[in-house]
């Protein structure tokens, strides 16, 4: 098995986000530095690694499965494992301070599919997405909600769950200990309710059907926890721990995604979805909460009481700009750990202006200069 050693060579801060550093072979063990991240100990520099969009080239994957609705039987592991192998062989295990990781069909809407949402693919768009649940197309009636709650009940015989487990096992077998396998980014409570209803209906339901939203959120996080647990039963430790989002941790560190926070107020998030997230990070004290920079109005709610173990933020091209984001990042750092995904220029500024303690950065590959 590939192992991580206890230390890494010192590098000047200005070189941390250069291509040469991020792609340099690593012979030393990074576990010590990742442990400092989790312990929020003083350190001379943050963890900095590379985010490669080509980890799973979705357009090439869609070319293999075609257009229209996708069924579980269309996703044999042999149809996509080569994508991960190509990336791993080209880049190796370490991308800067962070560790290469693989999840079954990264970006595929697994939880939505398991919950009964039809999954569709487009060769033109090169993407895969989940459509709203068919039972909810005509409104949130009591009968429709009961039927959806039945789909949100964990069922080992669910064809999409069985396919996810098959794909996870296939990826683990293919990795053969050479690189870590982890659950993919899985939709959290707000994301799942938004997927079930559709974005517009989701926003309206917060006001028109608040009780229904609360019930769906509670059932959604229960399903999320059980799906994650089923995947983790198939995933062996890597170098004595687990890896996700480039971070090595001594225990499982699944990613809990709340992208739908961009659509709602802090008050709505606190009322409907905060308790669901708190269940997740209580269950997984090394878990990672994924947000987008357009949805950070929910941060004050997140930092009250039990904070997420890690808040991972994707800086969106459409704003807000870093002048507005940096104070929010600093506030997160005062309470918990921070991971930021952005361009080379954005990450360099964050390194200059923020504390290095409990902080990691993922640099978008396409933003890197050649110097």
Residue 138 pLDDT: 80
Q: 3-state class of 92 per DSSP?
A: coil
Residue 29 has pLDDT above 80, yes or no: no
Residue 122 to residue 139: CA distance in whole angstroms? 27
Residue 4 has pLDDT above 50, yes or no: no
Q: Are 251 and 285 in contact (CB under 8 A)?
A: yes
In a 10 Å sphere around its CB, with 0-12 CB exposed, 13-18 middle and 19+ buried, how is residue 104 labelled? buried
Q: In which band, very low, low, confident or very high, does the pLDDT at 28 lie, cut at 50, 70 and 90?
A: low
Residue 10 has pLDDT above 60, yes or no: no
Query: Can you spell out the DSSP letters for 7-18?
Result: ------GGGTTS
Q: Which two tokens stand for residue 291?
A: 């947000």
Q: Which two tokens stand for residue 16?
A: 């941390």
pLDDT digits (tens, 9 = 90+) for 180-222: 999 977 889 999 999 999 999 999 999 999 999 999 999 999 9
Can you tell me which residue has the tokens 């943050």?
46
Among 9-18, 40-49, 323-332, the minimum mean pLDDT is found in 9-18
Among 23-37, 64-78, 248-262, 270-284, the minimum mean pLDDT is found in 23-37
Question: Residue 95, Cβ neighbours under 10 Å: how many?
Answer: 24
Residue 326 to residue 359: CA distance in whole angstroms? 13
Q: Are 253 and 287 in contact (CB under 8 A)?
A: yes
pTM for this prediction: 0.92
Q: Are 231 and 165 in contact (CB under 8 A)?
A: yes
- The rounded percent of the chain whose pLDDT value lies above 70 is 93
Give me the mean pLDDT over the 107-136 stretch: 92
Residue 15 has pLDDT above 60, yes or no: no
Give me the mean pLDDT over the 298-304 stretch: 95
Sheet-wide strand order for 127-130: 68-69, 119-122, 127-130
Q: Are 313 and 293 in contact (CB under 8 A)?
A: yes
Q: Are 144 and 209 in contact (CB under 8 A)?
A: no
Q: In which band, very low, low, confident or very high, does the pLDDT at 5 lie, cut at 50, 70 and 90?
A: very low
Helix or strand holding residue 63 (H, E): helix 58-65
Residue 9 pLDDT: 43
Among 69-83, 253-267, 287-301, the minimum mean pLDDT is found in 69-83
- Most distant CA atoms of the chain, gap in Å: 62
Q: Which two tokens stand for residue 175?
A: 């990795």
Residue 11 has pLDDT above 80, yes or no: no
Residue 177 pLDDT: 94
pLDDT digits (tens, 9 = 90+) for 211-221: 999 999 999 99
Give me the mean pLDDT over the 274-297 stretch: 96
Alpha helices in the chain (DSSP H): 19-22, 31-39, 58-65, 81-91, 110-114, 142-152, 159-175, 189-197, 199-208, 210-232, 266-272, 274-283, 299-302, 322-335, 344-353
Residue 23 pLDDT: 79
Among 4-8, 69-73, 250-254, 337-341, the minimum mean pLDDT is found in 4-8
All structural domains of the chain, each given as residue ranges with its CATH number in brackets, are: 13-53+93-104+140-367 (3.20.20)
- The rounded percent of the chain whose pLDDT value lies above 90 is 71
Residue 198 to residue 52: CA distance in whole angstroms? 29
Q: Which two tokens stand for residue 5?
A: 């050693």
Residue 192 pLDDT: 96
On average, the pLDDT of the chain sits at 90
Q: Of 90 and 358, which is predicted with more confidence?
A: 358
Sequence-ordered list of residues with C-beta below 8 angstroms from that of 183, at least 6 positions apart, any chain: 103, 168, 228, 231, 232, 235, 244, 254, 255
Q: Which two tokens stand for residue 23?
A: 């792609």
Q: In which band, very low, low, confident or very high, does the pLDDT at 265 lie, cut at 50, 70 and 90?
A: very high
Among 19-23, 151-155, 320-324, 341-345, the minimum mean pLDDT is found in 19-23
Give me the mean pLDDT over the 300-309 stretch: 93
Sequence-ordered list of residues with C-beta below 8 angstroms from that of 112, at least 6 positions apart, any chain: 119, 130, 187, 192, 195, 196
Number of H helices, E strands in the chain: 15, 14
């Amino acid at each position: 098995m590939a192992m991580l050693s206890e230390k890494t060579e010192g590098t000047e801060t200005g070189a941390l986000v250069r291509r040469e550093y991020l792609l340099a072979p690593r012979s030393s063990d990074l576990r010590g530095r990742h442990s400092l991240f989790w312990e929020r100990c003083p350190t001379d520099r943050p963890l900095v690694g590379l985010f490669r969009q080509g980890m799973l080239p979705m357009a090439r994957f869609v070319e293999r499965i075609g257009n229209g609705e996708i069924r579980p039987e269309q996703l044999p592991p042999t149809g996509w494992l080569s994508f991960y192998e190509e990336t791993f062989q080209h880049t190796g295990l370490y991308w800067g301070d962070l560790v290469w990781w693989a999840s079954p069909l990264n970006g595929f809407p697994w939880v939505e599919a398991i919950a009964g949402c039809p999954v569709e693919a487009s060769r033109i768009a090169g993407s895969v997405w989940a459509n709203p649940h068919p039972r909810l197309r005509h409104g949130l009636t009591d009968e429709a909600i009961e039927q959806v709650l039945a789909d949100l009940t964990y069922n080992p015989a669910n064809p999409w769950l069985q396919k996810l487990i098959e794909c996870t096992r296939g990826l683990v077998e293919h990795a053969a200990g050479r690189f870590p396998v982890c659950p993919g980014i899985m939709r959290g409570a707000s994301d799942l309710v938004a997927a079930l209803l559709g974005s517009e209906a989701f926003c309206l339901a917060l006001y028109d059907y608040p009780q229904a939203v609360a019930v769906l959120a509670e059932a959604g996080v229960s399903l999320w926890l059980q799906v994650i647990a089923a995947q983790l039963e198939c995933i062996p430790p890597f170098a004595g721990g687990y890896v996700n989002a480039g971070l090595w941790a001594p225990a499982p560190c699944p990613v809990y995604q709340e992208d739908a926070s961009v659509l709602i107020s802090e008050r709505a998030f606190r009322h409907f979805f905060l308790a669901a997230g708190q269940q997740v990070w209580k269950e997984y004290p090394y878990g990672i909460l994924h947000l987008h920079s357009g949805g950070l109005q929910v941060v004050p709610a997140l930092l009250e009481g039990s904070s997420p173990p890690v808040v991972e933020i994707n800086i969106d091209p459409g704003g807000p700009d870093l002048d507005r984001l940096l104070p929010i990042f600093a506030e997160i750092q005062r309470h918990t750990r921070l991971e930021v995904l952005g361009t080379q220029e954005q990450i360099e500024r964050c390194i200059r202006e923020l504390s290095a303690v409990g902080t990691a950065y993922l640099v978008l590959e396409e933003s890197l200069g050649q110097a």
